[in-house]
Amino acid sequence: MPNWNPIQYEKFLKDRTQPAIDLANRLEEFAPNSILDLGCGPGNSTKVLKDKFPTAKIIGADNSDEMLEKAKGL
């Protein structure tokens, strides 16, 4: 598996998160029961989805153990 450094990734977290925010804001009429966030990284987009759809079961998946460890803290 590739090594990703969550600290380095998060230096541009605002820029990396904005597309997820923009997309989530366009999904007003949806109420999903479950969501799969592929390539969730440190969980920034997963948190956007969790905030937008609080009743949905959300699973974040990534091929980087370092990123998944960081995402667990959200």
Contact 41, 67 (CB under 8 A): yes
Q: How many domains does the chain have?
A: 1
Distance CA 27, CA 29 (A): 6
Burial call 37-68: b when 16+ CB within 10 Å, e when fewer = beebbbbbbbbbbbebbeeeebebebebebbb
In a domain, 1, yes or no: no
In a domain, 37, yes or no: yes
In a domain, 46, yes or no: yes
Domain residues for the domain of 27 are 6-71
Ordered per-residue pLDDT tens for the chain, 74 residues = 567 888 888 899 999 999 999 999 999 899 999 999 999 999 999 999 999 999 999 999 999 999 999 999 87
* CATH number of the domain encompassing residue 53: 3.40.50.150
Strand blocks (E) in 1-74: 34-38, 57-61
